[in-house]
Structure 1
Amino acid sequence: MLYSPDHDHRRPEGADDQAAKLPEKAGRWTFQIVEEYDDGYYAAFRELEGEVRDRLTGGRRHVYEAELKQRSQRAGREASG
């Protein structure tokens, strides 16, 4: 779908002329913009993030959050028991 001002009903009154400029300036359909982002910037970031995670945590994700959860559960058991 090409971005169209007719599809966005949340736009403030009087903004249609600015929104209509987007397809002209972009020259691409929205799915093309998303694919370019996925294949370019996001793919490079995801690859680098994976390399860093593998090196620093052995590939484990959300290590800090998992530790917080364990501490919270441990504290809850100690308080109730």
Structure 2
Amino acid sequence: MNEHEEALGGPDRDHRRPDGVDDTTVEALGALSKALETTERARGRLYDFHQLTGSADLQLDKAVKLLEEAGHPEWAAKVRSEILGRNVIPGHWTFQIVEAYNATYYRPFQQLEASAVQELARGRDHLYEAEMKEERRTPGHPDHAARPPDRES
């Protein structure tokens, strides 16, 4: 970034492309970051699955109690023995699925993406997005500032 661009308020140092990093590398790191963000969304849905399934299992307590109160002890016993506390897949409750996903896929992906950014862009994250922001903003417009007010360099 030259002196004129800096005076116009370009991106802070952490979001400026280091010397020697080419367009294709920036684009590749952007694609890798986007894939990780998609994985973050998938992981969130996995936690939704975990919490919803756990909530349903806890709600079965009320169903069992009401079946007993209504004079259907055989159905209460059936729900208790057949569904309450049941594995969602053989040998697994949902917390075990979440743990396996995190250990087997999510954390290795997260670590690989961080390593790629560190090695290929000197640790500067979101370069693709930062450059897109620069291309799309209107210099001088108060709602198109290049960086937060507290980020001077």
Q: TM-score range by the shorter chain?
A: 0.5 to 0.7
Q: Which secondary structure state, in structure 2, belongs to the residue aligned with residue 31 of structure 1?
A: helix
Is 1:67–2:116 an aligned residue pair?
Answer: no
Q: How many angstroms apart in 2 are the aligned matches of 1:40 and 1:56? A: 24
**How many residue pairs are counted as aligned between the two chains?**
62
Partner residue of 2:104? 40
- Which residue of structure 2 lines up, in the alignment, with residue 51 of structure 1? 115
Query: Counterparts in 2 of 1:11-26, with a 5 A limit?
Result: 23=88, 25-26=89-90
Aligned-residue identity in percent: 38
Q: Is 1:77 matched with 2:139?
A: yes
Structure ID, larger Rg: 2
1:26 to partner: Cα distance = 3.3
Q: Per-residue displacement from partner, 1:43-64 (whole Å, max 9, x unpaired)?
A: 1111111111101111122111
Q: Please, what TM-score do these two structures have when normalized by structure 2?
A: 0.33
Residue 66 of structure 1 deviates from its aligned partner by 0.7
Q: What is the letter of the counterpart of residue 102 of structure 2?
A: D
Work out the CA distance in 1 between the residues paired with 2:119 and 2:102. Answer: 24
Gaps of 5+ in 1: 8-19
Point out where structure 2 has 5 or more consecutive residues left out of the alignment. 1-49, 57-82, 141-153
Runs (4+) of structure 1 exceeding 3 A deviation are 1-4
